[in-house]
Structure 1
Amino acid sequence: MSGQERLIYLPLGGAGEVGMNAYVYGWGAPGKERLILVDLGVTFPDMDSTPGIDLIFPDMSWLVQNAHRLEAIFITHGHEDHIGGLAHFWNELRAPVYCRRFTGHLAARKMEERGIDPGQIDVMEPFPEAVEAGPFTVAFLPVSHSIPESSALVIDTPAGRLVHTGDFKLDGAPVVGEPFNAELWHDIASSGVQALICDSTNIHAETPGRSEATLGSNIRELVATSSGMFVATTFASNVARVKTLAEAGRDAGRSVCLMGRAMLRMVQAAVETGVLTDFPPVISHEEAEDVPREHLMLIVTGSQGERRAATAQLSRGKYLGLELKADDTFLFSSKTIPGNERSVLRIVNAFSEMGVNVVDDSSSLYHVSGHANRPDLEAVHQLMKPKMVIPMHGEHRMLRRHAEAAEAAGIPAAVASNGTIIDLTGDRPAVAGHVETGRVYLDGTQKVGALDGVVRGRIRMALNGHVMLNVIFDEEDEPLGEPWAEIMGLAETGASRSSLVELIEAETAQYLARTDEKVLQDDDKLDAALRRVVRQVAVEEIGKKPEVTIVVSRLA
């Protein structure tokens, strides 16, 4: 091993936030390292800060510029915050993609949707099977999580072994998927672990996490003792929970109907890849219309209040011929992700007005997290005995608390936010530089930078409204007729009780009549002057300073 070479870790997304995961590892001389990428996910927009945006990606500019150094991409599991950006950036990165079978099924479908050959996806079996990617040898280590076939990565490098946990929990009975195998993890750690790069999401939870298997009896009892129609929502990717819910419906003598494309797609993928077996029979929504309410159970998408998902649709009335009524029961078998509270509460209140009995996760009887709590993380530290711990996947407060827990156990740790290069080569992690990072928005079909002004302009129009003023000049640069205005998102009348449009047109006409020829002949000066007039009228009349577009047409 040359003294000039180093082992680096570089998060481009997912460090300092929950979502949008993208982690780079590199080995080689500084600036010339051979690279691998672990995960390429998305996060989701909201109407307050990103109106009209479809998806949010990590800014991959640095990696795209260095794509000639990229050996491979590894996807730990199929959640959107780990896989959702893959197909959107693959044409720019063009590296082999490796993942487990279930994840590969989801990834292939995403590639096909964007016209990319799904043959770019290489499916791997779990450890000890491994693949060489430049100076790295990488294997998939099964872990428990809230989606099937989640995996940690065992990354062997010239500087030692890395273990990247991905999202995980300690669950010996996950219902669907592979249980946490402490003996296997111990064997992997026996040769020494240079660094443990570890999930930090639940570091603030002070009690050990609970198994998915603990929910079955509670859910069965709730379904069996509920009157009317029973409806439950959970994350569509939590196939184990969907199975538990469906079994509870079957055991209560209810016909089970899955509603929502994501729910149907995930269950189908789990069945086709063999990770889901013995799933109870289901009926179509057309068949569900003929089933008595007390004998019907719906399992639906939209646990986070997504406006177009089945849950929100049901809260607004009928959905695919079915509707909720008084004394029906609606179960949120999920945790509300921070930021989604208002959307979920809007739905809960709509159901309440219908007389529906809403049950949420506040009792902890019907939902368990897919992430390891602090005692579980500390147990993994002890099990792996790494030379150092790098917290990842979490807000900054989570990363910091995780680093403090590791240091308290005598393990060196470092908090690395997005864009921070950490040198993992020595006995302690060391900051070795920074790269520019940020966010990229998918706006319709186009990617736009967070600083490009697209969203900022959209927010300004939403906050201030918009006025378009049209002016025509003849061949001699004289106004031809009166200016005419159009408004959007503004009150039609103001303090004087007169039409805002008419006042804007009158004031701008007077301005054109009294201004000198030099201004009338200079489009830039005319634009600036008319904007001032329009805004002055708007401020005086309605107390708003709108966005203004001036359209000057000349016949010359």
Structure 2
Amino acid sequence: MSSERLIYLPLGGAGEIGMNAYVYGYGKPGEERLILVDLGVAFPDMDTSPGVDLIFADITWLKERADRLEAVFVTHAHEDHVGAVAHCYGALNVPVYARAFTANLARRKMEEQGHPEDAVRTVSAWPETVTAGPFKVGFVPISHSIPESAGLVIDTPAGRVVHSGDFKIDANPVVGEAFDPELWAEVAQSGVRALVCDSTNVFSAHPGRSESELGPAITELVGEAGGMVVATTFASNVARVKTLAEAGQRAGRSVVLLGRAMRRMIEAAVETGVLADFPKTISPEEAQEIPRENVMLIVTGSQGERRAASAQLARGKYRGLELADGDLFLFSSKTIPGNERDVIRIINQLSEKGVDVVDDRTDRYHVSGHANRPDLERLHALIDPQMVIPMHGEHRHLREHAKLAEAGGRAGVVAVNGMMLDLGGNAPKVADYVETGRTYLDGSVQIGALDGVVRDRIRMALNGHVTVTVILDEEDEPLGEPWCDLKGLPETGSSRAALVDVLEEDLNQFLMRAGDKTLRDDDKLEEELRRIARQTAMSEIGRKPEVTVVVSRMR
């Protein structure tokens, strides 16, 4: 029996949708050489991560073993797969491999963070492979909602692993490669030990639809519109952006791309040869000189992002353009769970302007980029792996996908973030548990989920804040009365007096009674002042605010 083992360890993306990061390792236990597949982000919300810019997986475990890490392989250019590469590169300092389109966008991110662009290396599609320690890794084209997506063939001394990446089965994806069943059958011919597979749409019972099916419906909608037409979709869905632009062109409209991400994606697609015949576009300034019924805007912000073009158009003007009564706004996208409130806010703002909104409820103007249940079954049959490891999904998705694998006679297991699996036997087995979590990008600083910064921010948002300032003289006696500054609290409470006055009076009463021992001890004094401020606020307004105490001593 070999003393080496093949391990799989998700640090992000298993038990959630977003911030994907999957480790593979081979070698003696505790000495395995490692590779990382994908390093992505998730996006914050005001309820759970106020003020945060980005969220990515806590890769502390990997940082501590960076001397054993061979390389990072990125399956495609969606932010939840590539968005954290540049932010984490300094800690990992290994080559990053990707196909041309993904590499183009990754290099831009590296440049923004001051890292060398040549750390990102372009790899051609299968059968070319990259050797990284005991691994040979190949990028096999697979259809998805962004160009040049790839599943990975990971050859190891313990057998072949296929990492599907995000995928759908689409014979005509408009832009990018079609799903090629013969190619995947060829990949599987020599035998596959494990298929690590996208689980996003496992609950969708009907076969997935092709991107090419949307063109006629979108063309008809745009052709019948009277005023200005605005459409939003995921900026990364180059095929959809092209379909929308072609619909505008057929309707005799001039097309404007609005939003940095939208322009960057199209530029990258043109630079890498993915996109060769995109319709001519005009600038926002040129659009202002054209009758609005002859203009179509394709804009960012399909998920209600506050600073994106969609939200700014809903609130008022953006780049000199403004929506009006009788215009049409199309959401050619699906609202990601958790973003509903932000999208509905934009829809209501548009409605107040008299804009007609068409959203994703009809399924006429959007198709998913992920494989539905019948498509997952088809890939299982094509690859015919010994075991299936569901990934890229919430726990319910992973569990249902494991059941699907077992129903097909294959071993399946639910592996969530931090669960290390040994893939060396006839079935996957748990080898270890690793502590995982989240890292927040807060401005220009990375902070851990347990650092308390976000927790304190949430508590201040929920409860308000009081700053108590006290000055003591050389004899440790109060110099004047304490004073309070209030943030996020009502001006008056149940006594009808000003809340700040009630707080200051109760705090002053305490100071007048406090003994010398308390007045000489900063920690004790702060503790008591904080307790009294919270107790008084609770009596007055039914809420205990966060309290900061500042004790100044005259020396």
> What is the rounded CA distance, in whole Å, between the counterparts of 2:521 and 2:8 in structure 1?
55
> What is the rounded CA distance, in whole Å, between the counterparts of 1:241 and 1:395 in structure 2?
26
> What is the rounded CA distance, in whole Å, between the counterparts of 2:554 and 2:382 in structure 1?
80
Deviation at 1:533, TM superposition (A): 2.0
Q: Are 1:409 and 2:408 counterparts?
A: yes
Q: Deviations over 1:296-354 (max 9, x none)?
A: 00000000000000000011111111111111100000000000000000111111111
Q: Which residue of structure 2 lines up, in the alignment, with residue 115 of structure 1?
A: 114
Q: Which residue of structure 2 lines up, in the alignment, with residue 209 of structure 1?
A: 208
* Structure 1: gaps spanning 5 or more residues: none
Deviation at 1:537, TM superposition (A): 2.1
Deviation at 1:476, TM superposition (A): 1.2
Q: Which residue of structure 2 lines up, in the alignment, with residue 443 of structure 1?
A: 442
| 2:42 counterpart SS class | coil
Q: Deviations over 1:145-172 (max 9, x none)?
A: 1111000001111111111110000011
> What is the rounded CA distance, in whole Å, between the counterparts of 2:282 and 2:547 in structure 1?
55
Q: Deviations over 1:58-108 (max 9, x none)?
A: 010000001111111100000000001101111111111110000000000
Q: Which residue of structure 1 lines up, in the alignment, with residue 426 of structure 2?
A: 427
Deviation at 1:141, TM superposition (A): 0.2
Structure 1 segment 247-262 matched on structure 2, within 5 A? 247-262=246-261
Q: Which residue of structure 1 lines up, in the alignment, with residue 7 of structure 2?
A: 8
> What is the rounded CA distance, in whole Å, between the counterparts of 2:180 and 2:325 in structure 1?
46
Structure 1 segment 341-420 matched on structure 2, within 5 A? 341-420=340-419
> What is the rounded CA distance, in whole Å, between the counterparts of 1:299 and 1:40 in structure 2?
29
Q: Which residue of structure 1 lines up, in the alignment, with residue 132 of structure 2?
A: 133
Structure 1 segment 67-86 matched on structure 2, within 5 A? 67-86=66-85
| 2:411 counterpart SS class | coil
| 2:455 counterpart SS class | helix
> What is the rounded CA distance, in whole Å, between the counterparts of 1:133 and 1:521 in structure 2?
63
| 1:35 counterpart SS class | strand
Q: Which residue of structure 1 lines up, in the alignment, with residue 468 of structure 2?
A: 469
> What is the rounded CA distance, in whole Å, between the counterparts of 1:162 and 1:173 in structure 2?
27
> What is the rounded CA distance, in whole Å, between the counterparts of 1:490 and 1:552 in structure 2?
22
> What is the rounded CA distance, in whole Å, between the counterparts of 1:250 and 1:316 in structure 2?
27
> What is the rounded CA distance, in whole Å, between the counterparts of 2:255 and 2:521 in structure 1?
70
Letter in 1 for 2:174: V
Residues 191-200 or 508-517, more deviating: 508-517
Q: Which runs of 4+ in 1 moved over 4 A?
A: none
Letter in 1 for 2:276: T
- RMSD of Structure 2 on Structure 1 (CA): 0.9
Q: Deviations over 1:363-390 (max 9, x none)?
A: 1110000001000010111111111111
Deviation at 1:532, TM superposition (A): 2.1
> What is the rounded CA distance, in whole Å, between the counterparts of 1:185 and 1:511 in structure 2?
76
> What is the rounded CA distance, in whole Å, between the counterparts of 2:519 and 2:421 in structure 1?
60
Deviation at 1:509, TM superposition (A): 1.7
> What is the rounded CA distance, in whole Å, between the counterparts of 2:507 and 2:430 in structure 1?
59
| 1:201 counterpart SS class | coil
Q: Which residue of structure 1 lines up, in the alignment, with residue 311 of structure 2?
A: 312
Q: Which residue of structure 2 lines up, in the alignment, with residue 302 of structure 1?
A: 301
Q: Which residue of structure 2 lines up, in the alignment, with residue 530 of structure 1?
A: 529
Q: Which residue of structure 2 lines up, in the alignment, with residue 55 of structure 1?
A: 54
| 2:160 counterpart SS class | strand
Q: Which residue of structure 2 lines up, in the alignment, with residue 218 of structure 1?
A: 217
Q: Deviations over 1:427-474 (max 9, x none)?
A: 211111111111111111111111111111111111111111111111
TM-score normalised according to structure 1 size: 0.99
> What is the rounded CA distance, in whole Å, between the counterparts of 1:475 and 1:516 in structure 2?
16
Q: Are 1:66 and 2:53 counterparts?
A: no
Letter in 1 for 2:183: L
| 2:22 counterpart SS class | strand
| 1:497 counterpart SS class | coil
Q: Which residue of structure 1 lines up, in the alignment, with residue 40 of structure 2?
A: 41
Q: Deviations over 1:181-222 (max 9, x none)?
A: 111111111111111111110000000001100000000000
| 1:398 counterpart SS class | helix
Structure 1 segment 73-112 matched on structure 2, within 5 A? 73-112=72-111
| 2:24 counterpart SS class | strand
> What is the rounded CA distance, in whole Å, between the counterparts of 2:363 and 2:509 in structure 1?
68
Deviation at 1:487, TM superposition (A): 0.6
Q: Which residue of structure 2 lines up, in the alignment, with residue 513 of structure 1?
A: 512
Q: Which residue of structure 2 lines up, in the alignment, with residue 124 of structure 1?
A: 123
| 1:480 counterpart SS class | coil
Q: How many residues align?
A: 555
Deviation at 1:486, TM superposition (A): 0.7
| 1:128 counterpart SS class | coil
Deviation at 1:496, TM superposition (A): 2.1
Letter in 1 for 2:269: A
| 2:106 counterpart SS class | helix
> What is the rounded CA distance, in whole Å, between the counterparts of 1:482 and 1:264 in structure 2?
59
| 1:263 counterpart SS class | helix
| 1:335 counterpart SS class | coil
> What is the rounded CA distance, in whole Å, between the counterparts of 1:276 and 1:377 in structure 2?
28
Letter in 2 for 1:202: N
Deviation at 1:494, TM superposition (A): 1.5
Q: Which residue of structure 2 lines up, in the alignment, with residue 275 of structure 1?
A: 274
| 2:41 counterpart SS class | coil
Letter in 1 for 2:489: L
Q: Are 1:171 and 2:170 counterparts?
A: yes
> What is the rounded CA distance, in whole Å, between the counterparts of 1:540 and 1:385 in structure 2?
67
> What is the rounded CA distance, in whole Å, between the counterparts of 1:412 and 1:539 in structure 2?
56
Letter in 1 for 2:318: Y
Q: Deviations over 1:2-60 (max 9, x none)?
A: 61111111111000001110001111111111111000001011000111111111010
Q: Which residue of structure 2 lines up, in the alignment, with residue 335 of structure 1?
A: 334
> What is the rounded CA distance, in whole Å, between the counterparts of 1:417 and 1:533 in structure 2?
45
Letter in 2 for 1:272: E
Letter in 1 for 2:283: S
Q: Deviations over 1:501-535 (max 9, x none)?
A: 12222222222122222211111221122112212
